[in-house]
């Protein structure tokens, strides 16, 4: 429960509205939550949940159970505000074949896709808890003579940065780090790192 509370706090700190928050979790995590002492230890909350067999809301966030295959690898849960993402939806392409060879009647052939996209300007309304060691280390900087040298402890990581204070993960002004960056008066250096096989790092204000 404390880890979920941390996620709710992250959205609070990101100024995401209290309403219309969702937490996506697998049925396995949902089961652990329903039977945890932290949850059932609150009499009114536990009795209501156990009586119905559901947990409809946690810290003001609506619970959405999803199959394990829908969750990103090594991700335990996702918290989103409805305005921060294009919520998962289905795109389908279906065709009907009437009396095809070997089939008596109609045969329906189709494809279904499920996805969600983060809106860069509102990314503070999204939080994910992932396994330890699966997040790229945040970059660090050494400043000398008006230039910043960036580095990351993860070998092979790619660093992107901005100087205008915008989020380098989504900003059109973001650049790949290839050498020392000249930092002028009034510049606001922000950077993140991405390494193959890991999630991108948090944004570092350098």
pLDDT digit string, tens, across residues 99-111: 777 777 777 666 5
Of the residues 88, 110, 130, which one is the last residue of a structural domain?
A: 130
Instruction: Note whether 119 and 181 are same-domain residues.
Output: no
163, 183 contact by CB (below 8 A): yes
Domain assignment of residue 7, yes or no: yes
Q: Which pLDDT score, from 0 to 100, does residue 19 have?
A: 85
Of the residues 80, 112, 130, which one is the last residue of a structural domain?
A: 130
Instruction: Note whether 147 and 78 are same-domain residues.
Output: no
Instruction: Note whether 104 and 145 are same-domain residues.
Output: no
Q: By C-alpha distance, which of 170, 173, 172 is closest to 194? A: 170
What domain count does the chain have?
2
Q: Which pLDDT score, from 0 to 100, does residue 49 have?
A: 47
Instruction: Note whether 196 and 145 are same-domain residues.
Output: yes
Of the residues 130, 160, 176, which one is the last residue of a structural domain?
A: 130
**Residue 43 sits in which domain range?**
2-130
For 1-55, the pLDDT digits (tens) are 778 888 888 888 888 888 888 888 888 888 777 776 665 555 555 445 444 444 5
For 143-195, the pLDDT digits (tens) are 888 899 999 999 899 999 999 988 898 888 999 999 889 998 888 999 999 99
Instruction: Note whether 39 and 70 are same-domain residues.
Output: yes
Instruction: Note whether 181 and 126 are same-domain residues.
Output: no
Please tell me the distance from the alpha carbon of residue 201 to that of residue 135, in angstroms, as a whole number. Answer: 6
For 85-96, the pLDDT digits (tens) are 765 555 556 677
Backbone angles phi, psi at 176, to 5 degrees: -75, 135
Q: Which pLDDT score, from 0 to 100, does residue 73 have?
A: 85
Instruction: Note whether 190 and 148 are same-domain residues.
Output: yes
For 53-63, the pLDDT digits (tens) are 445 777 888 88
191: domain CATH number?
2.60.40
Instruction: Note whether 157 and 190 are same-domain residues.
Output: yes
Instruction: Note whether 175 and 117 are same-domain residues.
Output: no
Domain assignment of residue 135, yes or no: no
Q: Which pLDDT score, from 0 to 100, does residue 51 have?
A: 42
147, 179 contact by CB (below 8 A): no
Instruction: Note whether 95 and 176 are same-domain residues.
Output: no
Q: By C-alpha distance, which of 27, 65, 175, 192 is closest to 123? A: 192
pTM of the model: 0.67
User: Token pair for residue 97?
Assistant: 């074949």
């Amino acid at each position: 429960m404390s880890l979920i509370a941390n996620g709710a706090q992250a959205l609070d700190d990101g100024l995401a509205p209290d309403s219309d928050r969702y937490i996506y979790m697998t049925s396995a995590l949902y089961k652990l939550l329903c039977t945890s002492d932290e949850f059932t230890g609150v009499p009114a909350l536990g009795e209501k949940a156990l009586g119905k067999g559901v947990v409809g809301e946690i810290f003001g966030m609506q619970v959405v159970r999803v199959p394990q295959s829908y969750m990103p690898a090594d991700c335990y849960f996702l918290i989103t505000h409805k305005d921060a993402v294009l919520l998962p939806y289905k795109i389908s392409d279906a065709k009907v074949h009437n009396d095809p060879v070997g089939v008596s009647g109609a045969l329906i052939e189709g494809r279904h896709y499920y996805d969600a996209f983060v809106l860069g300007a509102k990314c503070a309304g999204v939080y994910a808890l992932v396994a330890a060691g699966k997040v790229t280390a945040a970059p660090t900087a050494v400043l000398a003579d008006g230039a910043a040298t960036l580095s990351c402890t993860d070998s092979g990581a790619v660093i992107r940065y901005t100087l205008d204070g915008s989020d380098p993960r989504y900003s059109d002004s973001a650049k790949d780090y290839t050498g020392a960056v000249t930092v002028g008066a009034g510049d606001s250096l922000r950077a993140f790192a991405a390494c193959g096989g890991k999630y991108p790092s948090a944004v570092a204000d350098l």
